[in-house]
């Protein structure tokens, strides 16, 4: 197999040819100019030859040497500034070229080398992988298709260090370890190349919003037992908006100071601050059962977002906080046992009952976060490694993603949020009522 030509290899071959030709020419003239030294020592010995006179040394020969030196100084004086001026561009070009090379290698690893696409889909679009379920004793229970989340939004959820940790050590016993520290087959550079590829496939906010809203409409339609295009889907969403507006009106009636703040907001910044205060006040009402007319619809909306099916659960909470969601145990999946069908989950499917993430039922979120606003902030921002959260929350391990926008300070890139603030608030209200 012939090696593909590269610029570096071509330059190397040209330099080799020049050196080889130069060596042959040197040997040729050296051999031709060689003389038998016997009897010609006086002619050959430098210290026995006729010295050059001062007139010759200080005349034309000196002028030639000084002229050559002046030419070289001129070349250096012009070349060095030109080289210096071109350095920033050369560095930028090298960075871009390295990024391109790493991205291409990462794409090859994703699709073929490590075959990430087999589970996470082409271009990180999401997919499923066959997984064997076992019981506490390690005995086989069932073979299921485990939903693997889309990776074209992974940097909206996790930092690159957190992604690297998952690649190194795996996740929740389903995602295997791929890095050498976790016993996997890939080197540190190969993992870095995969991350370069993941950077290149991250989707924009418009695409994310379309995926969430499209998946939400599908789930609402399924809940209502109608088609996606049925007007009942829009009626449901309109009712949710009405409940939110009602809660805001109630918050303004209950808090004259807040009403005054909204009324007096004079500029864009003040208006934004006042609107956020109103949102937080309304959220507290929406999180308390029976306080707002039509609240059940709003909580149902939060439940649908909590278990959103779009792109293999990429945008939802149930994938981590509900055991069984990732392999459709909610559909009363059964196995044949002792001649009869037995549920895979004998205790039933418990929404928010805990899995990789903690149990959210029995008021645990209310205990963890005294206010709905602090709860919402946590979901928007996610865990910070080594930083405590809420009441009694230990130092975060970074495994809880943030569903709001995330900024990568090193790259100077802000990735769009997975969910809107309104959608996050609906999830908060639902979780605080589990």
Q: What is the 3 state secondary structure string of 321-380? A: HECCHHHCHHHCCEEEECCEEEECCCCCCCCCCECCCCCCCCCHHHHHCCCHHHHHHHHH
Above 60 in pLDDT, residue 217?
yes
Instruction: Say if residue 187 is in the same domain as residue 226.
Output: no
Strand partners for 343: 334
Instruction: Say if residue 195 is in the same domain as residue 218.
Output: no
User: Taking a C-beta distance cutoff of 8 angstroms, is the pair 126, 312 a contact?
Assistant: yes
Predicted confidence at residue 110, as pLDDT, reads 96
Predicted confidence at residue 134, as pLDDT, reads 81
Above 50 in pLDDT, residue 3?
no
Closest CA to 139 of 319, 339, 335: 335
Q: What is the mean pLDDT of residues 28-52?
A: 64
163 belongs to a structural domain: yes
* pLDDT tens readout for residues 311-333: 999 999 999 999 889 888 866 66
* CATH number of the domain that residue 106 is part of: 1.10.760
Instruction: Say if residue 171 is in the same domain as residue 243.
Output: no
Q: What is the mean pLDDT of residues 200-229?
A: 96
270 belongs to a structural domain: yes
Query: 372-381 vs 268-286: helix axis angle to the nearest 10?
Result: 110
**Residue 93 confidence class, pLDDT cut points 50, 70, 90:** confident
55 belongs to a structural domain: no
Above 80 in pLDDT, residue 136?
no
Closest CA to 223 of 330, 125, 320: 330
337 belongs to a structural domain: yes
Tell me the three state secondary structure of residue 305. Answer: helix
Instruction: Say if residue 188 is in the same domain as residue 225.
Output: no
12 belongs to a structural domain: no
* pLDDT tens readout for residues 344-399: 676 667 889 888 888 999 999 999 999 999 999 999 999 887 778 888 776 666 68
Instruction: Say if residue 193 is in the same domain as residue 224.
Output: no
Predicted confidence at residue 282, as pLDDT, reads 96
Instruction: Say if residue 208 is in the same domain as residue 197.
Output: no
Residues 35 and 385: their CA atoms lie apart, in Å, by: 80
Instruction: Say if residue 124 is in the same domain as residue 216.
Output: no
Find the range with the poorest average confidence among 29-43, 120-134, 185-199, 384-398: 29-43
294: left (phi over 0), alpha (psi -120 to 50) or beta: left
41 belongs to a structural domain: no
The residues, any chain, with a CB within 8 Å of residue 156's CB and separated by 6 or more, are: 202, 208, 405, 406, 415, 416, 417, 418
Q: What percent of the chain has pLDDT over 90?
A: 56
Predicted confidence at residue 398, as pLDDT, reads 66
Number of other residues whose CB lies within 10 A of the CB of residue 378: 21
Highest mean predicted confidence (pLDDT) among 10-24, 89-103, 242-256? 242-256
Find the range with the poorest average confidence among 96-105, 115-124, 175-184, 335-344: 335-344
* pLDDT tens readout for residues 419-430: 999 999 999 999
Predicted confidence at residue 342, as pLDDT, reads 63
23 belongs to a structural domain: no
Instruction: Say if residue 238 is in the same domain as residue 380.
Output: yes
Predicted confidence at residue 87, as pLDDT, reads 83
Predicted confidence at residue 5, as pLDDT, reads 46
Tell me the three state secondary structure of residue 428. Answer: helix
Instruction: Say if residue 251 is in the same domain as residue 121.
Output: no
Predicted confidence at residue 332, as pLDDT, reads 60
Instruction: Say if residue 262 is in the same domain as residue 293.
Output: yes
333 belongs to a structural domain: yes
How many alpha carbons fall within 13 Å on the CB side of residue 355? 20
**Number of domains within the chain:** 2
Instruction: Say if residue 186 is in the same domain as residue 232.
Output: no
Above 50 in pLDDT, residue 1?
no
**Residue 126 confidence class, pLDDT cut points 50, 70, 90:** very high
What's the mean pLDDT when you consider all of the chain?
Answer: 87
Domain boundary among 169, 186, 201: 201
Q: What percent of the chain has pLDDT over 70?
A: 87
**Residue 35 confidence class, pLDDT cut points 50, 70, 90:** low
DSSP 389: B
Domain that holds residue 219: 203-431
Instruction: Say if residue 176 is in the same domain as residue 325.
Output: no
**Residue 2 confidence class, pLDDT cut points 50, 70, 90:** very low
Predicted confidence at residue 27, as pLDDT, reads 85
């Amino acid at each position: 197999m012939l090696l593909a030509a590269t610029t570096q290899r071509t330059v190397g071959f040209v330099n080799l040819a020049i050196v080889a030709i130069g060596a042959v020419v040197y040997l040729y003239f050296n051999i031709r100019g060689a003389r038998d030294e016997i009897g010609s020592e006086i002619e050959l010995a430098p210290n026995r030859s006729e010295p050059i006179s001062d007139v010759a040394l200080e005349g034309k020969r000196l002028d030639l040497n000084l002229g050559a030196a002046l030419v070289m100084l001129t070349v250096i004086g012009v070349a060095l500034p030109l080289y210096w001026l071109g350095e920033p561009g050369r560095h930028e070009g090298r960075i871009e070229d390295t990024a391109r090379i790493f991205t291409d290698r990462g794409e090859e690893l994703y699709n073929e080398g490590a075959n990430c696409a087999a589970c996470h889909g082409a271009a990180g679009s999401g997919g499923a992988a066959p997984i064997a379920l076992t019981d506490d004793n390690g005995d086989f229970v069932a073979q299921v298709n485990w939903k693997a989340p889309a990776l074209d939004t992974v940097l909206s959820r996790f930092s690159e260090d957190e992604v690297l940790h998952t690649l190194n050590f795996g996740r929740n016993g389903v995602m295997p370890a791929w890095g050498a520290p976790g016993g996997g087959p890939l080197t540190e550079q190969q993992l870095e190349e995969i991350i370069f590829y993941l950077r290149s496939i991250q989707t924009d906010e418009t695409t994310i919003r379309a995926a969430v809203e499209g998946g939400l409409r599908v789930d609402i339609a399924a809940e209502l037992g109608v088609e996606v295009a049925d007007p009942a889907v829009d009626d449901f969403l309109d009712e949710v908006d009405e409940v939110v507006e009602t809660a805001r009106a109630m918050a303004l009636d209950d808090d004259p100071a807040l009403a005054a703040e909204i009324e007096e907001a004079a500029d864009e910044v003040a208006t934004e601050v006042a609107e956020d205060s109103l949102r937080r006040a309304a959220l507290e009402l929406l999180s308390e059962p029976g306080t707002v007319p039509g609240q059940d619809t709003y909580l149902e909306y939060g439940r649908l977002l909590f278990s959103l099916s779009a792109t293999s659960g990429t945008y939802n909470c149930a994938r981590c906080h509900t055991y069984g969601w990732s392999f459709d145990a909610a559909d009363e999946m059964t196995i044949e046992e002792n001649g009869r069908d037995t549920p895979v989950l004998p205790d039933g499917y418990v929404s928010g009952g805990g899995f990789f993430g903690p149990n959210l039922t029995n008021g645990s979120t209310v205990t963890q976060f005294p206010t709905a606003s602090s709860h919402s902030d946590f979901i928007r921002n996610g865990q910070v490694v080594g930083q405590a959260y809420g009441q009694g929350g230990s130092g975060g391990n970074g495994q809880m993603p943030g569903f709001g926008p995330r900024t990568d300070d090193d790259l100077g890139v802000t990735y769009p949020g997975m969910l809107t603030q309104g959608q996050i608030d609906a999830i908060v209200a639902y979780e605080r009522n589990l």
